[in-house]
Structure 1
Amino acid sequence: MEIKELTRAEEQIMQELWKLNKAFVKEIIEEMDEPKPAYNTVSTIIRILETKGFVGHESFGKSHRYFPKISKDDYKEFATGKLLLGYFDNSANNMLSFFLEEKKLNLKDADELLKLLAEAKKKAK
């Protein structure tokens, strides 16, 4: 299945659904930050997410309990790839340099990344 990009509102709801794993609209709203969106707004967005293939549901009479059909890790891979390709010429080096220059990544984080890279290099051998 092809993953599509989420709008900001859709992503907010998916973040809550990924945390909850299964939830009714009311439960999703309870987890959201203030100001909480209207029930109808969340319900509409959930139905859009279902049409896009992100969400499925189980029926309980007239109520529906929703669950993610696409994992957070799968969407993270899609979004990161889109970011890398669209803004950094598909270069992890360009992206890392940007985060360092913009101070979104400190030296401690960079050291941890270097350790991860060294471990990955050992595993690849």
Structure 2
Amino acid sequence: MKELTKREEQIMEIVWRLQEAFIRDIVNEFPEPQPHYNTVATIVKILEKKGVLQSEMIGNSNQYRPTQDFAAYREEYLESVKEKFFDNSLPKMLAHFAKKEKLSESEKEELIRIIKSK
């Protein structure tokens, strides 16, 4: 699992939504004040080196697309969190979030129902 910085994740969220994008497309998706083109281009190159983006030359510009969809990334990310912080234990991970979120009785019942259905 390749760890992404907050800004890298912001850029990836845009690319996942657009499916394919040029640097200018990515910059335009940011709210004001938008980051500088060169800043985004640098981060996109880092993401390409990390293997989460791939590029294709279209005319004289690179068009970027994700190497995996968001669902696959989320799965990989959550698996790494489970391994890193919860000794690779799903029950420990679920217990942590259940305690932290202060689940209502109906939410607890729903969680139990989901677990039993698997």
Output the TM-score relative to the length of structure 1: 0.80
**Matched residue, 1:46:** 44
Which residue does the alignment assign to 2:10?
A: 12
2:103 pairs with one of 95, 101, 106: 106
2:55 aligned with 1:57, yes or no? yes
Task: Quote the offset at 1:74 in angstroms.
Answer: 2.2
Identical aligned residues as a percent: 38
**Equivalent pairs, count:** 117
Structure 1 runs, 4 residues or longer, greater than 6 Å off: none
Please give the alpha-carbon distance, in whole angstroms, between the structure 2 residues aligned to 1:99 and 1:33: 32
- Pairing of 1:1-125 with structure 2 (within 5 A): 3-103=1-101, 106-107=103-104, 108-120=106-118
Query: How far did residue 45 of structure 1 move?
Result: 0.7
Change (3 A) 1:23 1:111: farther
Aligned-partner Cα distance in 2 for 1:32–1:112: 37
Amino acid aligned to 2:93: M
TM-score by length of 2: 0.84
Query: What RMSD in Å do the two structures reach over aligned CA positions?
Result: 1.9
From the superposition, tell whether residues 56 and 88 of structure 1 become closer, same or farther in structure 2 (CA, over 3 Å): same
Name stretches of at least 5 consecutive residues in structure 1 with no aligned partner.
121-125
Shift of 1:30: 2.3
